[in-house]
Chain A
Amino acid sequence: MSGIAPALLAGAMRNTGNVERWGMWEQTFSGPQKGEIEFRAEFRNGNRLVFADGFYDGNGVYRLRFMPDALGEWTFTTHSTAEALNGKVGKFVCTAPSAGNHGPVVVADGQHLRYADGTPHVSIGTTCYAWAHQSDELEHQTLQTLKRSPFNKIRMCVLPTEKSPQRVPFEGDDHTRFHIPFFQNLDKQIAALCALRVEADLILFHPYDHEGFQRMSDAESHRYLRYMVARYAAYRNVWWSIANEYDLVKKKTLPQWDEYFRIVQEADPAEHLRSIHYSKRFYDYSKNWVTHLSLQSDDFDKTGQWLSEYQKPIIFDECKYEGNISKRWGNLSGHEMARRFWLGMASGAYVGHGETYAGPNGNAWLSKGGTLVGESPARIAFLKKIWEEAPPGLQVSPEPYYPFVYKPGSYYLYFLDLHQPAEYQFKLPEAESYRSDVIDIWNMTITPVTGVWRGSFTLPLPGKPFQAVRLQRAA
C-alpha cells in the first residue's frame, strides 16, 4: 500500500478541469476561521512531484494555486493540520498555452532573459513603487498608461511606502494577521499586469517605512514571505525582488537577507526570478539563489566585467530617473534617460526606467503611477522595437572601443554615445556582406547608408552625437 495516498483508494478524486500551461490552476477549500493553519499540497505529473503551499483568504476560505509548467495530467493531494483541509485529492489536465502566453521569464544563457517557451524577453522595466496601494481609479489609470507604454516589467513594492496608505497589508500593527482585502487587490492587479504582458517585479521588503514593517520579527518576516510565495507564485509574471535598497534597511543583517532568499527559493515551486536591489553596498550576486543582478548604478561600462564575473543577466533597474525633482537621482532629462537605455543595452545589460516630475501629486509615476509625462518612453519604445527585431542572444565584447552587441557573421549594433565621428572603420568578417543603418536615438530615425559593406570598411557617419549604427547581413 505504500506510496498510494488513502484518498485515491477512496475514489474521491475530483476532476478540476483544464488549465493552460503556465496558466493559474486554483481550488478553494473550506476550513477553520483562522489563518494559523498549515495547508499545502503535492502535485504529481508522471514521476515529477512538486510542492505548493496554500493560503488563507479570509472567511474560512483556503486557496491553493498552482502554475503547471508541463502538458498532460496532473494530480494533487493536500496536507493540513486541519482535518477539513487534509487529504483532498484531484486531477486536472494541463493544455497548450493560449496565444500571448509564453510562460514565466527565465534566464537563458548566463546573460539573457527569455520566456519559458523560448521567446526572447527584452526586459524594459519601469518603476511604480506604490502604485498598488492607491485608489481604484488611480490604479486603473496606471494600468491604462502601461498598456500604451513600452514597459514589460514593473518594479513594485508589496508593503506600502507611504504614510497612512489607502491599503494596508496587516490588521493594525499585528504583523501576524494579514489584511485579506489588501492581497485580494494585489491579486487583481498582478493579474491585470499579466494580461498586459508586464512582469511584476515584486519588492518584498524596503526601507521606506512609516508603518513599522522593519520591526517585523524573523518569524513574522518568514511567515509573510511564505504567504507571498503561496499566494503569488502561480502568477507567471511574478519576479521576486527580496528588497529595494536592502542596505538601508538598518534593522536587518546580511544573514537575514540570505535566509529570505533561501525561504523564497525553497517555497516557490515555479522558481521565479530572484534578485535584490541595493543603495550603496552591492549584494553578492554570485550567491547561488540569485538569478540576475538588479543594480542601482549607471556604471554601464562595467557590464562586460560583471557578465563574465557573475555569468548572470544584468538589469540596471535604477540608473536614476527622468524628472525634475531636487534630488539628483530623480532629475535626468528625457534625453539622458534614453541615452542610458542605449548605453546599458549596448553594453549587454537591461535597463529600467522611472519618472519623477514634480507635480501636485509629488513624484507621481515613480511612487503612485498614474500618467507618464516624460519624453523618454517614446524613445525607449523605439529602442525596444530595434532590439525585438534583432536576433536573440546577442553577444557582447568585453572591452569594446565603442560599445556594441552582435551575433557573429550576422548582426552588429553599435552605440556611439556622446561621440560624433564623421566616419568610422568597422571590422566585420570578410565572409558576409552587410547593409547598414544610422540610427538617431532621440529623433527616432533609421537611415540606411547606401552601399553594401564587407570586411574592413570606413562608413560615413553624420558627425553628430547620440547615434547608433546597425549592420545586418545583406540577404
Chain B
Amino acid sequence: MTNEVHRWDQFEIALRGPEGVSVSAEFRLQNRSVRVDGFYDGDGLYRIRFMPDEEGEWTYTTFSNRRELTNQSGALQCVPAGEANHGPVRVANTFHFSYADRTPYRPFGTTCYAWAHQEQALQEQTLSTLRHAPFNKLRMCIFPKSYVYNQNEPPFYPFPRSSDGTNDFSRYNPAFFQHLEWCIRSLLDLGIQADLILFHPYDRWGYSKMPADVDDRYLRYTIARFAAFRNVWWSVANEYDLVKSKTMADWDRFFRIIQTSDPYGHLRSIHHSKTMYDHGKPWVTHCSIQGDDFGSTQDLLSRFQKPVIYDECKYEGNIPRRWGNISAEEMVRRFWLGITAGAYVGHGETYLDPHDVLWWSKGGVLKGQSPPRIAFLRKLLESAPSEGVNATSVYYQSAGQKGKYYLYYFDLHQPKDFQFELDNSASYSAELIDPWRMETTPLGGSYKGKFSLQLPGKPYLAVCFRAV
C-alpha cells in the first residue's frame, strides 16, 4: 500500500536512533532527485519531512552514519492538492508573487514578533484574531524576544538551558520546535504565510551571539524541521544591522546555507534598521524594507528587479516611540502609498496595554482602526489584474497594467479636477474610492486617453479605472 500525500502537503518518515547522528533522505520522481535532511525530535526519534511539489509516485532512500537509520526505502503517491492548497508562494512577474499553482498572492502582512513565546491562551487569542483579520502573512521570530514591553520568559527555550542560564548549544529542545510547528501549522490552516525571522538583536539569552558553527547548525536544523511547511518564508534577520556580533560575511553565509539546504526554495530576505542589506545579492528573493520612503520605490524596483515589501513602515499605536504611534489614518495612507508605488506594505499595531500585550509583539487582539481599511484595499487589489499592478505614474501615484487597469491615489492632495492620461487601447470605467470610509462610487461614463474628471476636492481619495 502506497502513502498518499497531497501536492505541497507533508510526507514524514519516522525512524528510531540515538541522539547526535546525521540522517537524510533522497526522494526520487523518475529522474528528479531531491535531498532532504532529517532531524532529531527527542525520545530516540528521527523525522524526515518532505513536501512533494509534483504529482506522481516518489520513492525514497535514507542515508545516515548509523546503520539503523540508513538505507531505509519506501514510496509515496503525490496526488493533486486539496482545496485551498495553492502551494508555496513564489516571485511572479518580477515584482509580484503567486502561489506555486499560479494563483496570485498579494502580501498583506502583519507583525507579531513574539506571539509564539506567550502563554497558550494568548496564542489561541492571536489565532482567533487572525482568523477575522485581513492579513495573509505574519512576521514572527523563532527566538524569544527581550525588548520594551517584552520582559516575560518564554515557555520554551530552543536549547537545553541550565538554571544558571547556560545554554547547551550542542542539543536542541524538541518541545520548543514542536511548539513552533504547531504555530506554523495553525497559520497554514488560516491561509497565512509564516515569515520566520531566524535571527534578531532583542536578546538576553545568548541567541544573538552564538558561535558560528552553532548558528550554521541551527539554520540547518530549522530548515530540516520547517521547510516542508508550504507557508514558510525565511527572513534571515530582523534589524540585522543591530546584531552587533555578526558581520556582513555572516549574513551572506546564512543566506547561502539556507539556499543550499532548503529543498523547496522558499522566499528569502532580510530586514534592516538603518543600513539596507544589498538586496541585489542573488540569494535574496525580495526586498524586505524598514522604511516609509515610498517615493524611492521605483529606485528599489528597477535596481533590484525584485518585489518590494515595506514590512515595517511604522505601526499604528500610541506608544512614546515614534515607530509605534502613527494613527490608523496614517497606517492606511501608507498602505495606499506603497501599493500605488508598485510595492507591498506590512502592518503592525502598538497600543499601550496594562498587561504589556501589544499586537506587534505578543499578539492578542487588534484595537486599531486600520485593519478594516486594509481589508478593503486587499479586496480591491485582489480584483486587479492577476499579474499585479506596477507603477504607471508618479505625479500623482498610480499603479496598474496598461490596457486593463489603473489605480490612482491622490494622498494628501485635494484637486477639484484632474486631467488623466490613460492609454488609448481600451475604454475604462471609473470609480471614486474613499479608502478611509471604504466607499466606492461609480463615476459613470467611459474614458480613454486624455480626459478631465471632476473630483471632490478632499484629500486621501483614490480613483480606479477598469477596462470595460
Contact = CB atoms under 8 A, between A and B. Distances in A.
Contacts of A38: none
Nearest to A463: B318
A325 B412 contact: no
A293 B120 CA distance: 59
B327 interface: yes
Contact of A418 (B318, B326, B415): B326
Interface of B, helix, strand, loop or mixed by DSSP = loop
Contacts of B319: 421-422
Contact of A331 (B317, B326, B414, B419): B414
A418 B330 contact: yes
B322 interface: yes
Interface in A417-472: 418-425, 458, 463-465
Contacts of A325: 415-416
Contacts of A420: 317-318, 325-327
B418 A326 contact: yes
Nearest to A323: B414
Given A326-B416, A328-B395, A333-B414, A422 B352 contact: yes
A402 interface: yes
Contacts of B419: 326
Q: Which of B319, B322, B414, B419 has most A Cβ within 10 Å?
A: B414
B217 to A, nearest CB: 40
B415 A324 contact: yes
B416 A419 contact: no
A328 B327 contact: no
Nearest to A358: B416
Contacts of A421: 318-321, 325
Interface string A395-424: 000000110000000000000001111111
Nearest to A327: B415
Q: For this complex, into which size category does the number of interface residues on chain B fall?
A: 20 to 34
B330 A465 contact: yes
B413 interface: yes
B322 A401 contact: yes
B326 A423 contact: no
Contact of A324 (B325, B330, B414): B414
A421 B459 CA distance: 24
Contacts of A326: 415-419
Contacts of A323: 414
A436 to B, nearest CB: 15
Contacts of B395: 328
Contacts of A271: none
A338 interface: no
A139 interface: no
B413 A331 contact: yes
A328 B396 contact: yes
A324 B416 contact: yes
A332 interface: yes
Nearest to A423: B320
B280 interface: no
B442 interface: no
Nearest to A465: B327
Interface in A304-342: 323-328, 331-333, 335-336
Contacts of B326: 418-420, 465
B18 interface: no
Contacts of B416: 324-326, 331, 358
Contacts of B396: 328
A336 B318 contact: no
A56 B152 CA distance: 84
B457 interface: yes
A422 B326 CA distance: 11
A447 B326 CA distance: 22
Given A328-B395, A336-B459, A419 B415 contact: no
Interface in B401-438: 412-419
Contacts of B352: 422-423
Interface residues of A, number: 26
Interface string B312-342: 0000011111100111011000000000000
B351 to A, nearest CB: 8
Contacts of A424: 320
Nearest to B330: A418
A418 B395 CA distance: 23
Nearest to A426: B320
A328 B413 contact: yes
Nearest to B418: A326
Contacts of A332: 412-414, 459
A209 to B, nearest CB: 24
A422 B330 CA distance: 16
A326 B396 CA distance: 10
Nearest to A417: B322
Contacts of A358: 416-417
Contacts of A328: 395-396, 413, 415
A36 B85 CA distance: 89
Contacts of A401: 322
Contacts of B320: 421-425, 458
Contact of A333 (B317, B412, B417, B418): B412
Contacts of B458: 333
A282 to B, nearest CB: 18
B325 A419 contact: yes
B324 to A, nearest CB: 9
Contacts of B459: 332-333, 335-336
B379 to A, nearest CB: 26
A418 B413 contact: no
B273 to A, nearest CB: 15
A401 B416 CA distance: 36
Contacts of A333: 412, 414, 458-459
B457 A324 contact: yes
Nearest to B452: A326
A423 B318 CA distance: 8
Nearest to B419: A326
B430 to A, nearest CB: 16
A423 B321 CA distance: 9
Residue of A335, A336, A420 ringed by the most chain B CB atoms within 10 A? A420
A346 B320 CA distance: 19
A465 B317 CA distance: 11
A420 B322 CA distance: 8
Contacts of A336: 412, 459
A425 B457 CA distance: 39
A331 B327 contact: no
Nearest to A402: B322
Identify which of A328, A331, A333, A425 gathers the most chain B CB atoms within 10 Å of its CB.
Answer: A331
B114 to A, nearest CB: 22
A409 to B, nearest CB: 23
- Which of the listed residues A336, A419, A423 has the most CB atoms from chain B within 10 Å of its own CB? A419
A418 B329 CA distance: 10
Given A418-B327, A420-B326, A331 B415 contact: yes
B29 to A, nearest CB: 54
Contacts of A331: 413-416, 457
Given A332-B414, A419-B325, 20 more contacts: A324-B415, A324-B457, A325-B416, A326-B416, A326-B418, A326-B419, A331-B413, A331-B414, A331-B416, A333-B458, A401-B322, A418-B327, A419-B326, A420-B317, A421-B318, A421-B321, A421-B325, A425-B320, A458-B320, A465-B327
Interface of B: 317-322, 325-327, 329-330, 352, 395-396, 412-419, 457-459
19 contacts: A324-B415, A325-B415, A326-B416, A328-B396, A328-B415, A331-B457, A332-B414, A358-B417, A401-B322, A418-B326, A418-B330, A419-B326, A420-B318, A421-B321, A422-B318, A422-B319, A422-B325, A463-B318, A465-B330
The 5 closest A-B pairs by CB, nearest first: A422-B318, A324-B457, A324-B416, A463-B318, A424-B320
